[in-house]
Structure 1
Amino acid sequence: MRVHQLSFAALAIAAGLSLTACQSDDDGKARSDPSAASSASTGGGAGTGGADQGGGASAGQGTGGKSSGGQGATGANGSGGSGSASELGKCRTADLQITAKDRTITGDDGTVVVSLRNRSGHSCAISGYAGVDLKTSAGSLSAKRTGAKSPSVVLKNGESIDFGISYPRNDSGGSGIRVTGLLVTPPNETHTATLHWPGAPSLPITENGGTPVKVGPIGSAGQGG
């Protein structure tokens, strides 16, 4: 009997120790699991937050102004704006609306002002002298340049610039040389616009055979160019 009682006591003690060990293991696991989960959450949050912050900083720098895209936009705006005359293409005949009006004020000479309006949709550069020829009953008559200096002009879309044509009026009482049309070739161009002549209907006949018609540079519109 004593032997059996000791065996039962030993079994009870062993069972108690085993139960205590299991509880300790369970408690350890219970304590370790929240800790591990919190660490993973923190690590994941930090990793996600770091990636977000890094992406935000990168986007901020890209949008911020010192990026190549920002400089490119500025460059595009610069070239799409007025620019300088040397950076722009020449004003072409097809891009210009060309009109002529009589602007005679006083004196022996008459004045016709030719207006060049940019309708190209972009800025263009223009300078120098336009080619001017009068169609007359005696043939074509080319205007002579006044010799005045012409500035380089940036003509924005929708803007106009003028130049003047001066010619002697026919006060002789005779028929003179009848003017039937006006031919205008913009500077640095080969295409000519044909216009109605708005000035006096005739020119006097000159004895010396010189050219009585004069043209001023682009930007001039007064009598005599």
Structure 2
Amino acid sequence: MLRKLLVTALVAGFAAAPAQAARTLLMPGVTYERQVQFTSQGPVAIHVLLAPKPGGLYSLKPVLSNGAIVGLERVTAMQRAVTGATTAGVNGDLFREDGLPSGVLLQSGALARSPSPDRSSIGIGADGSLQVERVKVFATWRGSGQRRALLLNLPPGPNGVSLFTSAWGPTTPAGSGATEAVLPLYPPATPNIDLTGTVGEIRQGGGTPIPPGGAVVVARGTGATRLTA
């Protein structure tokens, strides 16, 4: 019985080991490698880039498909859109069918997509240090009344309120039943500080253009009533 258990463990360990191909040199100091991880659900391909820590000639930046949260685009097309530098890239997160990332996205200090409270988030500091933590975001908005919950770049619920920045895309989500407050000027969505904007226009329905350097607050149900109070 002991021998049978040992053999089973060795076989299981062998099946889980990744199959590695030779590394390909992409540019000085940067290599690419394709690995295959054998799992209980079948083989999974893993694309691995090895590069120096950010700094000097090298930088590490998140890039959105089509320059927006929604929408899909091949990684090669996203690389070609980055001008003035030699680039190499891999998928940085899971995403929905419409392209919405499942996790946090922070660009130049501005929050474009809130983290998921159900999974860990990964961050890389300016010094190249790696951090993996469970992160939560609690955002609020306030007009003339009390603070209330606010979503970021995510369609609001039946009675919710959301803030859409230009990171979302050119317009707010299409659909009826929404009240939208256009903020012609709005600072980047930097975490941990209060941000202020002045409403320039109130519109009904969806598909409102998001002004460059501005934002749109979208509300439904009781949230819309409070927004226009």
Please tell me the TM-score bracket, short chain as reference.
Answer: under 0.3
More helix as a share of residues: 1
The structure number with the bigger radius of gyration is 1
Q: TM-score, normalised by structure 2?
A: 0.23
> Which of structures 1 and 2 has the larger relative contact order (alpha carbons within 8 angstroms, sep 6+)?
1
